[in-house]
Structure 1
Protein backbone atom coordinates (compact mmCIF):
# COMPACT_ATOMS: atom_id res chain seq x y z
CA UNK A 1 0.00 0.00 0.00
CA UNK A 2 2.92 2.35 0.70
CA UNK A 3 4.22 1.86 -2.86
CA UNK A 4 0.81 2.63 -4.35
CA UNK A 5 0.56 5.81 -2.27
CA UNK A 6 4.01 6.92 -3.46
CA UNK A 7 3.01 6.37 -7.11
CA UNK A 8 -0.17 8.41 -6.54
CA UNK A 9 1.76 11.29 -5.06
CA UNK A 10 4.27 11.07 -7.89
CA UNK A 11 1.47 11.13 -10.47
CA UNK A 12 0.13 14.31 -8.97
CA UNK A 13 3.62 15.86 -9.09
CA UNK A 14 3.99 14.97 -12.77
CA UNK A 15 0.58 16.53 -13.48
CA UNK A 16 1.63 19.71 -11.71
CA UNK A 17 4.98 19.72 -13.53
CA UNK A 18 3.39 19.64 -16.98
CA UNK A 19 1.88 23.06 -16.39
CA UNK A 20 3.00 26.67 -16.10
CA UNK A 21 2.19 27.71 -12.57
CA UNK A 22 0.41 31.02 -12.32
CA UNK A 23 1.04 31.90 -8.70
CA UNK A 24 3.82 33.94 -7.22
CA UNK A 25 4.71 36.70 -4.78
CA UNK A 26 4.24 40.28 -6.01
CA UNK A 27 7.18 42.52 -6.76
CA UNK A 28 6.98 46.29 -6.58
CA UNK A 29 8.16 46.55 -10.19
CA UNK A 30 5.81 46.25 -13.10
CA UNK A 31 -2.41 44.63 -16.44
CA UNK A 32 -1.38 38.20 -18.12
CA UNK A 33 -0.36 39.16 -17.27
CA UNK A 34 -3.33 38.98 -20.38
CA UNK A 35 -2.22 38.52 -19.91
CA UNK A 36 -4.55 41.30 -20.67
CA UNK A 37 -4.79 40.23 -17.22
CA UNK A 38 -4.07 42.56 -14.34
CA UNK A 39 -5.73 45.52 -12.59
CA UNK A 40 -5.96 48.29 -15.20
CA UNK A 41 -5.42 52.02 -15.14
CA UNK A 42 -8.01 54.49 -13.98
CA UNK A 43 -9.14 56.89 -16.73
CA UNK A 44 -7.08 60.10 -16.74
CA UNK A 45 -8.64 63.53 -16.42
CA UNK A 46 -10.51 64.28 -19.62
CA UNK A 47 -9.14 67.83 -19.66
CA UNK A 48 -5.51 66.77 -19.23
CA UNK A 49 -3.55 66.57 -22.51
CA UNK A 50 -0.56 64.69 -21.05
CA UNK A 51 0.14 60.98 -21.12
CA UNK A 52 -0.36 59.08 -17.86
CA UNK A 53 1.54 55.97 -16.80
CA UNK A 54 0.07 53.44 -14.37
CA UNK A 55 2.18 50.71 -12.77
CA UNK A 56 0.41 47.70 -11.21
CA UNK A 57 2.20 45.00 -9.20
CA UNK A 58 -0.17 42.20 -8.27
CA UNK A 59 -0.58 38.68 -6.90
CA UNK A 60 -2.75 36.09 -8.64
CA UNK A 61 -3.46 33.18 -6.27
CA UNK A 62 -4.32 30.76 -9.07
CA UNK A 63 -5.37 27.15 -8.79
CA UNK A 64 -5.24 24.96 -11.91
CA UNK A 65 -7.55 22.33 -13.33
CA UNK A 66 -7.76 20.48 -16.65
CA UNK A 67 -5.46 18.21 -18.68
CA UNK A 68 -1.79 18.52 -19.63
CA UNK A 69 0.71 16.30 -21.44
CA UNK A 70 4.46 16.29 -22.08
CA UNK A 71 6.09 13.67 -24.33
CA UNK A 72 2.58 12.22 -24.95
CA UNK A 73 2.19 11.47 -21.22
CA UNK A 74 -1.21 12.94 -20.39
CA UNK A 75 -2.18 13.77 -16.83
CA UNK A 76 -5.21 15.31 -15.16
CA UNK A 77 -4.28 18.63 -13.57
CA UNK A 78 -5.72 19.55 -10.19
CA UNK A 79 -3.30 21.85 -8.38
CA UNK A 80 -4.52 24.07 -5.53
CA UNK A 81 -2.79 27.38 -4.88
CA UNK A 82 -1.17 26.13 -1.65
CA UNK A 83 0.80 23.50 -3.64
CA UNK A 84 2.12 26.02 -6.15
CA UNK A 85 3.34 28.30 -3.36
CA UNK A 86 5.07 25.41 -1.56
CA UNK A 87 7.20 24.54 -4.61
CA UNK A 88 7.78 28.08 -5.90
CA UNK A 89 11.45 29.05 -6.41
CA UNK A 90 10.98 32.47 -8.01
CA UNK A 91 8.29 34.54 -9.63
CA UNK A 92 6.95 37.99 -10.38
CA UNK A 93 3.80 39.60 -11.79
CA UNK A 94 3.20 43.14 -12.92
CA UNK A 95 1.58 45.41 -15.48
CA UNK A 96 1.99 48.84 -17.00
CA UNK A 97 -0.46 51.02 -18.90
CA UNK A 98 0.10 54.23 -20.85
CA UNK A 99 -2.92 56.35 -21.65
CA UNK A 100 -3.87 59.68 -23.17
CA UNK A 101 -7.47 60.67 -23.62
CA UNK A 102 -9.37 57.86 -25.35
CA UNK A 103 -6.30 55.88 -26.45
CA UNK A 104 -4.42 53.47 -24.20
CA UNK A 105 -1.64 50.89 -24.48
CA UNK A 106 -1.09 48.06 -22.01
CA UNK A 107 1.47 45.37 -21.26
CA UNK A 108 1.58 42.81 -18.50
CA UNK A 109 3.63 39.77 -17.66
CA UNK A 110 4.21 36.99 -15.20
CA UNK A 111 7.04 34.53 -14.68
CA UNK A 112 7.21 31.51 -12.36
CA UNK A 113 9.89 28.91 -11.68
CA UNK A 114 8.71 25.88 -9.73
CA UNK A 115 10.62 22.79 -8.68
CA UNK A 116 9.57 19.78 -6.61
CA UNK A 117 11.24 16.54 -5.61
CA UNK A 118 9.78 13.11 -4.90
CA UNK A 119 11.31 9.83 -3.83
CA UNK A 120 9.88 6.74 -5.53
CA UNK A 121 11.37 3.62 -3.97
CA UNK A 122 15.14 4.14 -4.23
CA UNK A 123 15.01 6.85 -6.91
CA UNK A 124 15.18 10.61 -6.37
CA UNK A 125 12.99 12.26 -9.00
CA UNK A 126 12.94 16.00 -9.66
CA UNK A 127 10.19 17.82 -11.53
CA UNK A 128 10.39 21.44 -12.67
CA UNK A 129 8.34 23.98 -14.58
CA UNK A 130 9.14 27.45 -15.86
CA UNK A 131 6.26 29.52 -17.21
CA UNK A 132 6.21 32.95 -18.87
CA UNK A 133 3.16 34.84 -20.11
CA UNK A 134 3.36 38.29 -21.70
CA UNK A 135 0.46 40.27 -23.14
CA UNK A 136 0.33 43.61 -24.94
CA UNK A 137 -2.24 45.60 -26.84
CA UNK A 138 -4.27 48.76 -27.18
CA UNK A 139 -7.67 50.00 -26.01
CA UNK A 140 -9.96 52.81 -27.12
CA UNK A 141 -12.63 54.68 -25.14
CA UNK A 142 -15.75 53.97 -27.21
CA UNK A 143 -18.38 55.11 -24.72
CA UNK A 144 -18.27 57.34 -21.65
CA UNK A 145 -21.09 58.76 -19.51
CA UNK A 146 -20.63 61.27 -16.69
CA UNK A 147 -22.13 60.19 -13.36
CA UNK A 148 -21.79 63.53 -11.58
CA UNK A 149 -19.19 64.69 -9.13
CA UNK A 150 -15.48 63.90 -8.98
CA UNK A 151 -13.34 61.15 -7.51
CA UNK A 152 -10.88 61.87 -4.70
CA UNK A 153 -8.18 62.02 -7.40
CA UNK A 154 -9.96 64.91 -9.15
CA UNK A 155 -11.26 62.98 -12.18
CA UNK A 156 -14.97 63.08 -13.11
CA UNK A 157 -16.97 60.02 -12.02
CA UNK A 158 -17.83 57.99 -15.11
CA UNK A 159 -19.19 54.80 -16.59
CA UNK A 160 -17.06 53.75 -19.61
CA UNK A 161 -16.64 50.94 -22.15
CA UNK A 162 -13.36 50.28 -23.98
CA UNK A 163 -12.87 47.64 -26.71
CA UNK A 164 -9.33 46.22 -26.85
CA UNK A 165 -7.12 44.09 -29.08
CA UNK A 166 -3.71 42.56 -28.55
CA UNK A 167 -1.61 39.44 -28.35
CA UNK A 168 -0.60 37.02 -25.59
CA UNK A 169 2.68 35.07 -25.69
CA UNK A 170 3.01 31.92 -23.59
CA UNK A 171 6.18 29.91 -23.03
CA UNK A 172 6.40 26.77 -20.90
CA UNK A 173 9.29 24.48 -20.08
CA UNK A 174 8.71 21.19 -18.28
CA UNK A 175 11.55 19.01 -17.03
CA UNK A 176 12.02 15.73 -15.22
CA UNK A 177 15.21 14.23 -13.80
CA UNK A 178 15.92 10.79 -12.38
CA UNK A 179 19.16 10.15 -10.48
CA UNK A 180 20.75 13.27 -12.00
CA UNK A 181 19.79 12.54 -15.64
CA UNK A 182 16.81 14.32 -17.17
CA UNK A 183 14.75 15.54 -20.10
CA UNK A 184 13.09 18.87 -20.79
CA UNK A 185 10.48 20.13 -23.23
CA UNK A 186 9.74 23.75 -24.18
CA UNK A 187 6.68 25.07 -26.01
CA UNK A 188 5.91 28.68 -26.95
CA UNK A 189 3.00 30.21 -28.85
CA UNK A 190 1.22 33.49 -29.66
CA UNK A 191 -2.52 34.06 -29.28
CA UNK A 192 -4.22 37.10 -30.87
CA UNK A 193 -7.05 38.39 -28.68
CA UNK A 194 -9.99 40.77 -28.78
CA UNK A 195 -12.14 41.92 -25.89
CA UNK A 196 -13.55 44.80 -23.89
CA UNK A 197 -13.31 46.39 -20.48
CA UNK A 198 -15.79 48.28 -18.32
CA UNK A 199 -15.22 50.77 -15.51
CA UNK A 200 -17.84 52.17 -13.14
CA UNK A 201 -17.16 54.80 -10.47
CA UNK A 202 -19.50 53.83 -7.64
CA UNK A 203 -18.64 56.91 -5.60
CA UNK A 204 -15.66 59.19 -5.04
CA UNK A 205 -13.48 56.33 -3.76
CA UNK A 206 -14.94 53.01 -4.88
CA UNK A 207 -14.64 51.67 -8.43
CA UNK A 208 -15.80 48.52 -10.22
CA UNK A 209 -13.71 47.21 -13.12
CA UNK A 210 -14.33 44.18 -15.39
CA UNK A 211 -12.57 42.83 -18.48
CA UNK A 212 -12.98 39.85 -20.80
CA UNK A 213 -11.26 38.67 -23.95
CA UNK A 214 -11.24 35.72 -26.33
CA UNK A 215 -8.37 34.64 -28.57
CA UNK A 216 -6.27 31.94 -30.15
CA UNK A 217 -8.56 31.15 -33.07
CA UNK A 218 -6.20 28.35 -34.16
CA UNK A 219 -3.22 30.68 -34.60
CA UNK A 220 -1.66 29.45 -31.36
CA UNK A 221 -4.21 27.99 -29.01
CA UNK A 222 -7.32 26.43 -30.46
CA UNK A 223 -9.18 28.83 -28.19
CA UNK A 224 -8.45 30.87 -25.09
CA UNK A 225 -10.72 32.84 -22.75
CA UNK A 226 -9.82 35.37 -20.09
CA UNK A 227 -12.15 37.15 -17.64
CA UNK A 228 -11.54 39.25 -14.55
CA UNK A 229 -13.40 41.63 -12.24
CA UNK A 230 -12.11 43.90 -9.46
CA UNK A 231 -13.42 46.16 -6.74
CA UNK A 232 -11.09 49.14 -6.32
CA UNK A 233 -10.51 51.71 -3.57
CA UNK A 234 -8.85 55.04 -4.34
CA UNK A 235 -6.18 56.31 -1.98
CA UNK A 236 -2.72 57.90 -2.09
CA UNK A 237 0.59 56.06 -1.70
CA UNK A 238 3.99 57.76 -1.78
CA UNK A 239 2.22 60.93 -2.85
CA UNK A 240 0.78 59.30 -6.01
CA UNK A 241 -2.88 58.55 -6.89
CA UNK A 242 -3.36 54.83 -6.24
CA UNK A 243 -6.13 52.26 -6.66
CA UNK A 244 -6.07 49.25 -4.32
CA UNK A 245 -7.85 46.32 -5.97
CA UNK A 246 -9.25 42.92 -5.04
CA UNK A 247 -11.05 40.55 -7.39
CA UNK A 248 -11.04 37.30 -9.29
CA UNK A 249 -9.52 36.12 -12.58
CA UNK A 250 -9.91 33.02 -14.76
CA UNK A 251 -7.83 32.12 -17.83
CA UNK A 252 -8.51 29.09 -20.06
CA UNK A 253 -6.08 27.91 -22.75
CA UNK A 254 -6.41 24.96 -25.15
CA UNK A 255 -3.06 24.50 -26.90
CA UNK A 256 -1.86 21.29 -28.59
CA UNK A 257 1.28 20.48 -30.54
CA UNK A 258 2.46 16.92 -31.09
CA UNK A 259 2.97 15.30 -27.71
CA UNK A 260 2.38 18.54 -25.82
CA UNK A 261 -1.07 19.42 -24.44
CA UNK A 262 -2.11 22.39 -22.33
CA UNK A 263 -5.88 22.40 -21.79
CA UNK A 264 -6.05 24.07 -18.43
CA UNK A 265 -8.04 26.71 -16.55
CA UNK A 266 -6.14 28.93 -14.14
CA UNK A 267 -8.44 30.68 -11.68
CA UNK A 268 -8.27 32.42 -8.35
CA UNK A 269 -8.33 35.68 -6.38
CA UNK A 270 -6.20 38.68 -7.32
CA UNK A 271 -4.79 41.41 -5.06
CA UNK A 272 -2.97 44.40 -6.47
CA UNK A 273 -2.38 48.13 -6.58
CA UNK A 274 -2.34 50.56 -9.51
CA UNK A 275 -0.17 53.66 -8.97
CA UNK A 276 -0.49 56.53 -11.43
CA UNK A 277 2.37 58.79 -12.56
Structure 2
Protein backbone atom coordinates (compact mmCIF):
# COMPACT_ATOMS: atom_id res chain seq x y z
CA UNK A 1 0.00 0.00 0.00
CA UNK A 2 1.54 3.33 -1.03
CA UNK A 3 1.88 6.46 1.09
CA UNK A 4 -1.07 8.26 -0.49
CA UNK A 5 -3.46 5.39 0.30
CA UNK A 6 -2.25 5.11 3.89
CA UNK A 7 -2.67 8.85 4.39
CA UNK A 8 -6.18 8.73 2.88
CA UNK A 9 -7.25 5.88 5.14
CA UNK A 10 -5.87 7.70 8.18
CA UNK A 11 -7.71 10.88 7.22
CA UNK A 12 -10.96 8.95 6.70
CA UNK A 13 -10.59 7.26 10.09
CA UNK A 14 -10.07 10.59 11.82
CA UNK A 15 -12.93 12.26 9.93
CA UNK A 16 -15.42 9.45 10.54
CA UNK A 17 -14.85 9.62 14.27
CA UNK A 18 -15.72 13.31 14.20
CA UNK A 19 -18.71 13.07 11.86
CA UNK A 20 -20.42 10.08 13.44
CA UNK A 21 -19.55 10.70 17.09
CA UNK A 22 -22.45 11.20 19.47
CA UNK A 23 -21.11 14.61 20.42
CA UNK A 24 -20.53 17.38 17.92
CA UNK A 25 -17.10 18.56 16.88
CA UNK A 26 -17.30 21.51 19.25
CA UNK A 27 -18.27 19.31 22.18
CA UNK A 28 -15.24 17.08 21.57
CA UNK A 29 -13.14 19.92 23.02
CA UNK A 30 -15.10 20.04 26.27
CA UNK A 31 -13.13 19.36 29.42
CA UNK A 32 -10.39 20.83 31.52
CA UNK A 33 -7.09 21.55 29.75
CA UNK A 34 -4.24 19.27 30.79
CA UNK A 35 -0.48 19.56 30.39
CA UNK A 36 1.89 16.64 30.96
CA UNK A 37 5.69 16.71 30.83
CA UNK A 38 7.72 13.56 30.25
CA UNK A 39 11.48 13.43 30.76
CA UNK A 40 13.36 10.35 29.61
CA UNK A 41 16.67 8.78 28.63
CA UNK A 42 16.90 6.80 25.40
CA UNK A 43 19.89 4.45 25.80
CA UNK A 44 20.21 3.89 22.07
CA UNK A 45 22.66 1.73 20.18
CA UNK A 46 23.28 3.36 16.78
CA UNK A 47 23.88 1.54 13.50
CA UNK A 48 23.97 2.74 9.91
CA UNK A 49 25.82 5.05 7.55
CA UNK A 50 26.21 8.78 6.99
CA UNK A 51 27.58 9.73 3.59
CA UNK A 52 27.99 12.69 1.26
CA UNK A 53 29.56 12.13 -2.16
CA UNK A 54 32.60 9.89 -1.76
CA UNK A 55 32.86 10.49 2.00
CA UNK A 56 31.19 7.79 4.05
CA UNK A 57 31.08 7.30 7.80
CA UNK A 58 29.93 3.99 9.26
CA UNK A 59 28.05 4.53 12.50
CA UNK A 60 28.28 1.49 14.75
CA UNK A 61 28.21 2.85 18.25
CA UNK A 62 26.79 1.23 21.39
CA UNK A 63 25.21 3.49 23.99
CA UNK A 64 28.21 3.08 26.30
CA UNK A 65 30.41 4.81 23.70
CA UNK A 66 27.85 7.57 23.19
CA UNK A 67 27.75 8.16 26.94
CA UNK A 68 31.55 8.30 27.12
CA UNK A 69 31.76 10.92 24.36
CA UNK A 70 28.65 12.87 25.37
CA UNK A 71 28.84 16.68 25.44
CA UNK A 72 25.19 17.63 25.71
CA UNK A 73 21.87 15.79 25.85
CA UNK A 74 18.22 16.73 26.24
CA UNK A 75 15.21 14.46 25.86
CA UNK A 76 11.70 15.57 26.71
CA UNK A 77 8.05 15.25 25.75
CA UNK A 78 5.36 17.89 26.35
CA UNK A 79 1.66 17.10 25.88
CA UNK A 80 -1.27 19.54 25.94
CA UNK A 81 -4.82 18.18 25.72
CA UNK A 82 -8.40 19.40 26.02
CA UNK A 83 -11.37 17.10 25.65
CA UNK A 84 -10.65 14.43 23.05
CA UNK A 85 -7.86 16.41 21.31
CA UNK A 86 -4.22 16.94 22.08
CA UNK A 87 -0.97 18.29 20.68
CA UNK A 88 2.56 17.32 21.64
CA UNK A 89 6.25 18.03 21.12
CA UNK A 90 8.85 15.26 21.44
CA UNK A 91 12.46 16.51 21.33
CA UNK A 92 15.83 14.74 21.40
CA UNK A 93 19.09 16.68 21.22
CA UNK A 94 22.40 14.80 21.45
CA UNK A 95 25.90 16.24 20.88
CA UNK A 96 29.03 14.09 21.00
CA UNK A 97 32.73 14.52 20.25
CA UNK A 98 35.67 12.12 20.24
CA UNK A 99 39.30 11.85 19.23
CA UNK A 100 40.72 8.58 17.97
CA UNK A 101 43.24 7.15 15.54
CA UNK A 102 42.57 5.01 12.49
CA UNK A 103 45.65 3.43 10.88
CA UNK A 104 47.78 5.81 13.02
CA UNK A 105 46.00 8.82 11.52
CA UNK A 106 44.57 11.20 14.17
CA UNK A 107 40.82 11.67 13.68
CA UNK A 108 38.44 14.07 15.42
CA UNK A 109 34.70 13.65 15.09
CA UNK A 110 31.89 15.87 16.31
CA UNK A 111 28.19 15.11 15.83
CA UNK A 112 24.94 16.86 16.65
CA UNK A 113 21.55 15.25 16.18
CA UNK A 114 18.37 17.23 16.83
CA UNK A 115 15.14 15.27 16.29
CA UNK A 116 11.83 16.98 17.07
CA UNK A 117 8.30 15.73 16.42
CA UNK A 118 5.26 18.02 16.42
CA UNK A 119 2.01 16.08 16.49
CA UNK A 120 -1.73 16.17 17.02
CA UNK A 121 -3.91 13.28 18.20
CA UNK A 122 -7.58 12.46 18.66
CA UNK A 123 -9.05 10.05 21.21
CA UNK A 124 -10.99 7.93 18.73
CA UNK A 125 -11.91 5.32 21.33
CA UNK A 126 -12.18 5.36 25.12
CA UNK A 127 -13.58 2.44 27.05
CA UNK A 128 -16.15 3.22 29.76
CA UNK A 129 -14.57 4.69 32.88
CA UNK A 130 -14.21 2.17 35.69
CA UNK A 131 -15.21 3.42 39.15
CA UNK A 132 -12.12 1.89 40.72
CA UNK A 133 -9.80 3.60 38.22
CA UNK A 134 -11.61 6.90 37.62
CA UNK A 135 -10.16 6.76 34.11
CA UNK A 136 -10.76 4.70 30.94
CA UNK A 137 -9.07 1.33 30.76
CA UNK A 138 -8.31 1.45 27.04
CA UNK A 139 -7.58 4.53 24.91
CA UNK A 140 -6.85 4.50 21.16
CA UNK A 141 -5.51 7.67 19.51
CA UNK A 142 -4.68 8.16 15.82
CA UNK A 143 -1.94 10.76 15.38
CA UNK A 144 -0.42 12.85 12.60
CA UNK A 145 2.35 15.43 12.57
CA UNK A 146 5.67 16.72 11.29
CA UNK A 147 9.06 15.29 12.17
CA UNK A 148 12.07 17.64 11.95
CA UNK A 149 15.62 16.28 11.79
CA UNK A 150 18.81 18.33 11.93
CA UNK A 151 22.04 16.38 11.54
CA UNK A 152 25.56 17.80 11.77
CA UNK A 153 28.86 15.94 11.57
CA UNK A 154 32.41 17.32 11.44
CA UNK A 155 35.39 15.11 10.66
CA UNK A 156 38.96 16.44 10.91
CA UNK A 157 42.08 14.51 9.87
CA UNK A 158 45.52 15.45 8.50
CA UNK A 159 44.71 19.14 8.69
CA UNK A 160 41.56 18.74 6.58
CA UNK A 161 38.03 19.30 7.88
CA UNK A 162 34.80 18.07 6.34
CA UNK A 163 31.46 19.23 7.70
CA UNK A 164 28.02 17.89 6.84
CA UNK A 165 25.06 20.00 7.93
CA UNK A 166 21.56 19.17 6.71
CA UNK A 167 18.00 19.33 7.99
CA UNK A 168 14.66 18.17 6.66
CA UNK A 169 10.99 17.82 7.58
CA UNK A 170 8.66 14.92 6.91
CA UNK A 171 5.01 14.19 7.49
CA UNK A 172 4.17 11.20 9.72
CA UNK A 173 1.04 9.36 10.82
CA UNK A 174 0.27 6.47 13.12
CA UNK A 175 -1.53 5.54 16.33
CA UNK A 176 -1.07 5.45 20.09
CA UNK A 177 -2.53 2.95 22.54
CA UNK A 178 -2.83 3.14 26.32
CA UNK A 179 -4.14 0.55 28.76
CA UNK A 180 -4.73 1.03 32.49
CA UNK A 181 -4.80 -2.06 34.69
CA UNK A 182 -6.93 -2.37 37.84
CA UNK A 183 -3.83 -1.32 39.74
CA UNK A 184 -1.14 1.39 39.50
CA UNK A 185 0.35 -0.42 36.47
CA UNK A 186 -0.27 0.74 32.90
CA UNK A 187 0.93 0.15 29.33
CA UNK A 188 1.53 2.62 26.49
CA UNK A 189 2.73 2.17 22.92
CA UNK A 190 3.02 4.15 19.70
CA UNK A 191 3.84 3.35 16.07
CA UNK A 192 4.32 6.02 13.40
CA UNK A 193 5.45 5.94 9.77
CA UNK A 194 7.09 8.89 8.01
CA UNK A 195 6.86 9.95 4.38
CA UNK A 196 10.65 9.64 4.06
CA UNK A 197 10.74 5.96 5.08
CA UNK A 198 11.03 6.72 8.79
CA UNK A 199 9.69 4.14 11.23
CA UNK A 200 9.25 4.85 14.93
CA UNK A 201 7.93 2.38 17.49
CA UNK A 202 8.06 2.35 21.24
CA UNK A 203 6.29 0.66 24.12
CA UNK A 204 6.37 1.29 27.86
CA UNK A 205 5.20 -0.19 31.10
CA UNK A 206 4.42 2.39 33.76
CA UNK A 207 3.67 2.57 37.46
CA UNK A 208 1.67 5.40 39.05
CA UNK A 209 2.91 6.92 42.32
CA UNK A 210 0.93 9.64 44.16
CA UNK A 211 3.14 12.60 45.09
CA UNK A 212 1.62 15.72 46.66
CA UNK A 213 -1.83 15.02 45.16
CA UNK A 214 -0.33 14.40 41.72
CA UNK A 215 0.19 11.08 39.97
CA UNK A 216 3.78 10.57 38.81
CA UNK A 217 4.05 7.83 36.19
CA UNK A 218 7.41 6.03 36.25
CA UNK A 219 8.05 4.42 32.85
CA UNK A 220 10.42 1.91 31.33
CA UNK A 221 10.35 0.35 27.89
CA UNK A 222 11.99 -0.06 24.50
CA UNK A 223 12.25 2.26 21.50
CA UNK A 224 13.10 1.65 17.84
CA UNK A 225 13.73 4.47 15.37
CA UNK A 226 14.89 4.13 11.76
CA UNK A 227 15.50 6.82 9.14
CA UNK A 228 16.62 6.41 5.53
CA UNK A 229 16.81 9.86 3.94
CA UNK A 230 18.54 10.82 0.68
CA UNK A 231 18.96 14.31 -0.76
CA UNK A 232 21.34 14.76 -3.71
CA UNK A 233 24.72 13.30 -2.69
CA UNK A 234 23.71 13.08 0.95
CA UNK A 235 22.35 9.93 2.58
CA UNK A 236 21.33 9.39 6.19
CA UNK A 237 20.59 5.73 6.92
CA UNK A 238 20.54 5.36 10.69
CA UNK A 239 18.86 2.97 13.14
CA UNK A 240 18.55 3.74 16.85
CA UNK A 241 17.24 1.12 19.25
CA UNK A 242 17.43 0.43 22.95
CA UNK A 243 15.79 0.74 26.37
CA UNK A 244 14.04 3.90 27.59
CA UNK A 245 13.44 5.04 31.16
CA UNK A 246 11.69 8.18 32.37
CA UNK A 247 8.81 9.69 34.24
CA UNK A 248 5.66 11.64 33.42
CA UNK A 249 4.55 14.62 35.50
CA UNK A 250 1.10 16.29 35.20
CA UNK A 251 1.64 20.06 35.35
CA UNK A 252 -2.09 20.77 35.63
Work out whether the TM-score is over 0.5. yes
Q: Specify the SS of the correspondent of 1:150.
A: coil
Q: Which consecutive unaligned segments of at least 5 residues does structure 2 have?
A: 1-27
TM-score (norm 2): 0.82
- Cα distance in 1 for partners of 2:154, 2:92 equals 20
Q: Which consecutive unaligned segments of at least 5 residues does structure 1 have?
A: 1-45
Q: Write the deviation string for residues 4-54 of structure 1: whole angstroms up to 9, x where unpaired.
A: xxxxxxxxxxxxxxxxxxxxxxxxxxxxxxxxxxxxxxxxxx9x8210100
- Cα distance in 2 for partners of 1:183, 1:137 equals 34
- Cα distance in 2 for partners of 1:164, 1:125 equals 43
Question: Are the counterparts in 2 of residues 149 and 157 from structure 1 also a CA contact under 8 Å?
Answer: no
Which of 133, 141, 160 does residue 115 from structure 2 map onto?
A: 133
RMSD value over aligned CA atoms? 2.0
Moved more, 77-86 or 96-105: 77-86
Which residue number in structure 2 is paired with residue 149 of structure 1? 131
1:111 is the counterpart of 2:85: no
Q: Write the deviation string for residues 185-219 of structure 1: whole angstroms up to 9, x where unpaired.
A: 10100010000011111123111111101012xxx
Q: Specify the SS of the correspondent of 1:49.
A: coil
Question: Are the counterparts in 2 of residues 147 and 159 from structure 1 also a CA contact under 8 Å?
Answer: no
- Cα distance in 1 for partners of 2:94, 2:55 equals 22
Moved more, 257-266 or 199-208: 257-266
- Cα distance in 2 for partners of 1:120, 1:52 equals 52
Deviation at 1:123, TM superposition (A): 4.6
Which residue number in structure 2 is paired with residue 187 of structure 1? 166
* Closer, same or farther: CA 142–88 of 1 in aligned 2, 3 Å: same
Which residue number in structure 2 is paired with residue 74 of structure 1? 56
Question: Are the counterparts in 1 of residues 126 and 136 from structure 2 also a CA contact under 8 Å?
Answer: no
Which residue number in structure 1 is paired with residue 250 of structure 2? 276
